[in-house]
Amino acid sequence: MIKNYRVNSGKGKRTISIDETLCKGCGICVWVCPKKVFTFSNNLTSQGFYVAKVLNKRECLGCRLCEIQCPDFCINVSELS
């Protein structure tokens, strides 16, 4: 399942999408984000992972480090006009 988080703040409008079927819960997005936007879900998926979720979406700068660094291509950051 793809979870979409809509950002609408002074730092711009965008959507952060996480494909939970691909996420392995490695935590790279949690550590790489300069604004600590991500955390881990409290619930195990059927595949046995605590997947990433967005916690502080209003802090997102749109830098796309999370999208670039995710080894499983789970994250997509799309700017909205």
> Residues 51, 23: contact at Cβ < 8 Å?
yes
- Using CB under 6 A, which of 3, 5, 41, 61 touches ligand SF4? 61
- Using CB under 6 A, which of 15, 39, 45, 64 touches ligand SF4? 64
> Residues 24, 30: contact at Cβ < 8 Å?
no
- Site residues (CB under 6 A) for ligand SF4, limited to 13-52: 16, 18, 23-29, 33-35, 37, 51-52
Strands (E) across the chain are located at: 2-9, 12-19, 38-44, 50-54, 75-79
Which residues make up the interface to ligand SF4 (CB under 6 A)?
16, 18, 23-29, 33-35, 37, 51-52, 60-66, 70, 72, 74-75, 77
